[in-house]
Amino acid sequence: MNPLNLTSPPRYDRLTMSLHWLTALLVIGMFASAQIWERLAKGTPLRKELQALHISCGILLAVLVVGRLFWRLTHGRRLPAANSGVMNLAAKTAHWALYALLLSQIVLGFLFRWAQAEPFNFFGLFDVPTLLTFDKSMKSVFGGLHEQVAWAIVILAGLHAVMALVHHYGLRDDTLRRMLPGRGSN
């Protein structure tokens, strides 16, 4: 970045930025809620409330991720690559891996709930129908996979955040600013 350059860097559109940061907040909140309820006694009201909130946020995340992918593939602002060569390939691979992990996590979350054979709803507004039924033994399989993918998402998203900071503070380029609201965003 040229310190004398007073023009703002090209930024992603507001919807892309909003979807990005909402996804990040939901993922962090859902991961934190799962870590908290694991330390609470089974059957306690707080544990049940955290699980219900987690499930509703997971449904919201499903809508957000599908909408985000649709927007990215159809209307989202296309910016030139911030990097070239191996760094560009690594960034693209990490982004698509995050999308794949998020979609996998959403599917696993639904499968896990359906394997539990317990009704669930979206913020108390409507019940989510059971589309598939499973043997109860699948509960631990889906639950284990759901937890492993959660950790993979958190680790990869953490690396994503670290690299954004490396770009901002180490390489001193505009990579991070492209996803931050401010002057020049639409």
For residue 162, the SS3 value is helix
Q: Does residue 2 form part of some domain?
A: no
Q: What is the pLDDT of residues 34-80, one digit of tens each?
A: 999 999 999 999 999 999 999 999 999 999 999 999 999 998 777 77
Residue 95 CA to residue 156 CA, distance in Å, equals: 9
Would you state the pLDDT for residue 1?
45
Tokens read off for 19: 């979807």
Q: Does residue 106 form part of some domain?
A: yes
Q: Does residue 170 form part of some domain?
A: yes
Q: How confident is the model at residue 183 (pLDDT cuts 50, 70, 90)?
A: low
What secondary structure letter does DSSP report for 186?
-
Q: Does residue 116 form part of some domain?
A: yes
Buried b (16+ CB within 10 A) or exposed e, 11-32: bbeeebbebeeebeebbeebbe
Amino acid at 34: A
Q: Which helix (H) or strand (E) holds 120?
A: strand 120-122
User: Are 180 and 18 contacting, i.e. CB atoms less than 8 angstroms apart?
Assistant: no
CATH code of 66's domain:
1.20.950.20
Q: Does residue 9 form part of some domain?
A: no
Q: Does residue 1 form part of some domain?
A: no
Q: Does residue 6 form part of some domain?
A: no
pTM (two decimals): 0.88
Domain that holds residue 143: 14-179
User: Are 149 and 104 contacting, i.e. CB atoms less than 8 angstroms apart?
Assistant: yes
Residue 110 CA to residue 71 CA, distance in Å, equals: 23
Q: Does residue 64 form part of some domain?
A: yes
The number of domains in the chain is 1
Amino acid at 65: V
Counted residue by residue, the chain has a size of 186
Q: What is the pLDDT of residues 89-146, one digit of tens each?
A: 998 999 999 999 999 999 999 999 999 998 999 999 999 999 999 998 999 999 999 9
